[in-house]
Amino acid sequence: MLYLDTSALAKLYVREPETPEVRRLVEASSGLVFTSIVTYAEMLAVLARCRKERRLAEIAWRAAKRGFLADWRLLHVVGLDERVLAPAEKLIEAHGLRGFDAVHLCAALWIGSPLFACFDARLRAAAQSSGLTPVP
């Protein structure tokens, strides 16, 4: 079981040095790849920013966006409600997390003990402190 925050999922659509490792983690997860519902808007924003900053050419942006939208249906998406977000206050105060980082951590904790893929040092530390295994 693998949880991808937006920073990890983005590496599947925007080529970065960590892309091969994230692909390997996804392939090893046997289809049990989770993320939060907020990832949908965050990913579209990442792709639009990459296009605007010319990190993706128009044709690459269209392909990345099309790929993400197709793959979205294959992900296990954690919805948000009070039960999922119950630990948010404690996590934010204990680790100084930003709002959506806390949402991602709450969603991952909600599903159990997945491997937790992210590329933010503070969120990785909070995940590890909360009993999750940060990867890569």
Q: Cβ distance 36 to 110 under 8 Å?
A: no
Structural domains present in the chain: 2-131 (3.40.50.1010)
| Omega before 114 within 30 of 0, i.e. cis | no
Q: How does pLDDT run along the chain (136 residues), one tens digit per residue?
A: 999 999 999 999 999 999 999 999 999 999 899 999 999 999 999 999 999 999 999 999 999 999 999 999 999 999 999 999 999 999 999 999 999 999 999 999 999 999 999 999 999 999 999 999 999 9
pTM: 0.95
